[in-house]
Amino acid sequence: MGLFKWISLALLAFIGYVAYEVLFKVPPLPHIPDTYWGKGRPRPDDVAIYPFTINVTDSVLNDLKTRIRSTNTLTPPLEGVGFEYGFNSDYLKVVLDYWANNYNWRKFEAAFNKFPQFKTQISGLNIHFIRVTPKVPATIKVYPLLILHGWPGSVKEFQGIIPLLTTPRKDKDFVFEVIAPSLPGYGWSDAAVRPGLGAAQMGLVMKKLMARLGHAQFYVQGGDWGAFIAANMATLYPENVKGLHSNLCVAHTALATLKHLVGAIYPPLVVEEKYAHRMYPVSKVVDFMLMETGYFHIQVTKPDTVGVGLTDSPAGLAAYIIEKFITWTHDDYTFLSRGPNGAVISDRVRLEDVLDDVTIYWVTQTITSSVRMYAETQNKTQTLLGLMRIPTHVPTGCINFPHELAYQSEFILKQKFPRLIQMTHPARGGHFAALEEPQLLADDIFEFLSKVKVVEREEEELRRVEEEIKREEEKRARKPTSPSLY
């Protein structure tokens, strides 16, 4: 064999090896160390669970109104421009006027304090959470459900869905106990004082919270960052997470990208025709992501810099956060000058609801610690954990709202979620599903759990049969053989 052939074979072998490593090799499951994220030297957590009530002082609220009314003159928007250049300053004037003169924080506070709220120390951090345990007859089963928000959301998003999840339904023999925490660094939960608390590490904090509440096994649901944390938990702790439900299912792997690109040549290879517009043409998807992810690069690289301005200026904070509630609830809202009307963000979200969320960030002073989540998760250390490349082997349900930022077909998602037992496509809704469409999301979660229970019964029956076969084989092995007559 000539030198050229040897070189060619070696090159092909190398390419094959690289392709295997990049596209198909599944890394080992990483160990997430139990890190102490609180102030000072590590010490045992206070394991007590303390009742908590939101009670913002009048001085904080009065200072907020003073700052809003002292906002400098805003630069007028360009003629004929909606939100293409960012938050439209004409609409911002409407928002600020409503916030200063009509918005009522005490109304939100009173309504939200009807939920039982608590704090407990996990890994050195005081974690705030809502825990609603329904009072139901013994014939109704109660399953623990951990629900996780993202950015720029908060536990406010769950105000409408918690009653739907904790109220029995005529056609179901179960209901949920809902645990809805503020993520570390968000709302009334402490922020880490040292680097490293990313989505994988938050998953461990959340698992420890559920254990503190007496739930060794539970179900988890998430959107935005909550979806990534929930998926990480299901991947890392399948013995604890019995089912994963997500309204942002994604598979961020080289193989998923390759499948997506192959589909650009012939979409039916990877996606049903009626959903192909969500993925193709690729140029449209890329253009949208480039237009809508400027914030992402800033928060991955310099979260503390942007945090300074947002911590000091309520006008800046409102513009930065509410822009996402406008453009992420419906693609077309980018091109509106004032939203559908002054007091409405979308046809499903009121300005008052979004100002509840913005005010939470202001009164807790957590915008900087919240955006650090991006830097702590999108980095080399987190990528090397390989969690995106490790299949999640728990029953999974994905709900794909039509105006969600990203979409992947079932064919692509099954690489990451091989036990994808439910994939739904509601007719309306966007990125903030729990806030926009609580009924649709709650219905989907109930249906998912019904399917999970069927799967669990089938698996239990299979284990029973296998154990019976094993016992029979052991009995036959122990049974003495008759002596031979010859």
Q: Which of 177, 247, 182 is nearest to 219 (CA)?
A: 177
Query: Given this model, what pLDDT does residue 7 score?
Result: 67
pLDDT at 77 over 80: yes
pLDDT at 238: 98
Is residue 145 assigned to a domain? yes
Amino acid found at 168: P
Q: How confident is the model at residue 371 (pLDDT cuts 50, 70, 90)?
A: very high
Q: Tell me, what's the pLDDT at 470?
A: 86
| Separation CA 156–CA 435 (nearest Å) | 8
In this prediction, residue 84 has a pLDDT band, given cuts at 50, 70 and 90, of confident
Q: Which of 224, 356, 357, 444 is flagged as catalytic?
A: 224
Under DSSP, is residue 224 helix (H, G, I), strand (E, B) or coil? coil
Q: How confident is the model at residue 478 (pLDDT cuts 50, 70, 90)?
A: confident
Encoded tokens for 116 = 């039982």
Query: How confident is the model at residue 8, as a pLDDT?
Result: 62
The pLDDT of 56-77, averaged and rounded, is 98
- Model confidence at 476, pLDDT cuts 50, 70, 90, reads confident
Q: What is the pLDDT of residues 28-50, one digit of tens each?
A: 999 999 999 999 999 999 999 99
DSSP 102-152: T--HHHHHHHHTTS-EEEEEETTEEEEEEEE-----TTSEEEEEEEE--SS
- Active-site residue among 215, 245, 403, 431? 431
The domain total for the chain is 1
Residue 177: inside a domain, yes or no?
yes
Catalytic residue among 103, 186, 374, 407: 374
pLDDT given at position 479: 73
Burial level of 67, CB count in 10 A (0-12/13-18/19+)? middle
Distance CA 464, CA 448 (A): 24
Residue 231 confidence (pLDDT) above 70: yes
pLDDT tens digits for 448-457? Answer: 999 999 999 9
Please, how many CA atoms are within 13 Å of residue 366, restricted to the half-sphere of its CB?
A: 24
What is the per-residue pLDDT for 176? 99
User: Chain-wide mean pLDDT for the chain?
Assistant: 93
Q: Is residue 23 part of a domain?
A: no
Average pLDDT over residues 371-394: 96
Asked if residue 300 is part of any domain, the answer here is yes
* Whether the predicted pLDDT of 480 surpasses 90: no
Mean pLDDT, residues 208-223: 99
In a domain, 141, yes or no: yes
**Contacting residues for 77 by C-beta, under 8 A, at least 6 apart:** 85, 88, 89, 90, 337
- Statement: residue 100 has pLDDT above 50: yes
Mean pLDDT of 244-263: 94
Per the annotation, the verdict on 431 as an active-site residue is yes
401 touches 439 (CB < 8 A)? no
Distance CA 96, CA 99 (A): 5
Token pair in block for residue 238: 């399948």
Residue 376 pLDDT exceeds 80: yes
Mark whether 45 is an active-site residue. no
Residue 165 has pLDDT above 80, yes or no: yes
Domain range holding 342?
49-462
Cα separation, 224 vs 406, whole angstroms: 11
More confident residue, 22 or 357: 357
Q: What is the pLDDT of residue 338?
A: 53
Domain CATH number, residue 369: 3.40.50.1820
Would residue 344 count as lying in a domain?
yes
Per the domain annotation, does 242 fall within a domain? yes
What pLDDT was estimated at residue 334?
67
Give the per-residue pLDDT at 340.
46
For residues 111 and 108, give the distance between their C-alpha atoms in angstroms, rounded to a whole number: 5
- Residue 409 burial by CB count (10 A; 0-12/13-18/19+): exposed, middle or buried? buried
Lowest mean pLDDT among 121-135, 146-160, 425-439, 459-473: 459-473
Distance of CA 216 to the CA centre of its chain: 21
pLDDT at 475: 84
Please say if 91 is a catalytic residue.
Answer: no
Tens-digit pLDDT profile for residues 404-442: 999 999 999 999 999 999 999 999 999 999 999 999 999
The helix (run of H) or strand (run of E) holding residue 424 is strand 420-424
pLDDT of 108 over the 60 cut: yes
The per-residue pLDDT for range 330-358, each reduced to its tens digit, is 877 766 655 445 555 767 789 999 999 99
The band of 131, judged by pLDDT with boundaries at 50, 70 and 90, is: very high
Least confident of 16-25, 348-357, 392-401: 16-25
**470 within domain boundaries:** no
In which band, very low, low, confident or very high, does the pLDDT at 25 lie, cut at 50, 70 and 90?
confident
